[in-house]
Amino acid sequence: MLPVNLREQSPKGFAAIARTTFLIGNQSSVRRKTAIDHQSTYSRGINMNAREAVNLAMDSGQMIGLGYLDDMTDEELMHRPHPDCNHIKWQLGHLISSEHHIINGVLPGTMPELPEGFGERYTPETAKSDDASAFDSKEELLKLYNEQRAAAVAKLESLTDEDLSQEGPEEMKAYAPTVGAAFDLLGGHWLMHAGQWAVIRRQLGRPPLF
């Protein structure tokens, strides 16, 4: 179920909310700020172009994923929904690493460099570890995520429909047959993992968020 403030919005208003959801940090915490841009393309009712449709899909995954993470502690991010499932801390690093490689895969040189050794901390092998010190802090992970996502969005907004229709590399065609599909995957990938986060939140005693 959506929170009351979202249920009361029209579909166009909801799209504007999704588009303007982002994280802002201070010295001790990261908090979510949601604003409605009434002058956005969506709230004006103008037909979307391909870039805007893909961007909305990316924003929707971000809104839900970051909403689940907003009030969770580093300790809680190490919780597994099942012994055979991965904890959120690993999943978040995996999402960041994947976003970096997916967009660089179709448009080399687009994404900022990740810290040295970052990818090696979030592999299928490290997913088995329950040692919190082996992973980055929530604050650092969200900082890196914001940097990667900002670069992806900036690049997306510079592309034409023709650019988005270009074929992806042969090794990526199974999941990103075109450049546009690669960007669209970013939002869907977050949603794939967010289902587990909803379960974890309930296991930790939190009420439903959406």
* pLDDT value, residue 82: 94
Query: What is the pTM (predicted TM-score) of this model?
Result: 0.80
Rounded to 10 degrees, the C-alpha dihedral 168/188/153/176 comes to 0
Neighbours of 167 (CB within 10 A): 13
Domains and CATH numbers, the chain: 49-203 (1.20.120.450)
- pLDDT tens column, 148-207: 999 999 999 999 999 999 999 999 999 999 999 999 999 999 999 999 999 999 999 999
- pLDDT tens column, 41-55: 445 456 788 999 999
* pLDDT value, residue 46: 62
CA nearest 23: which of 168, 144, 130? 144
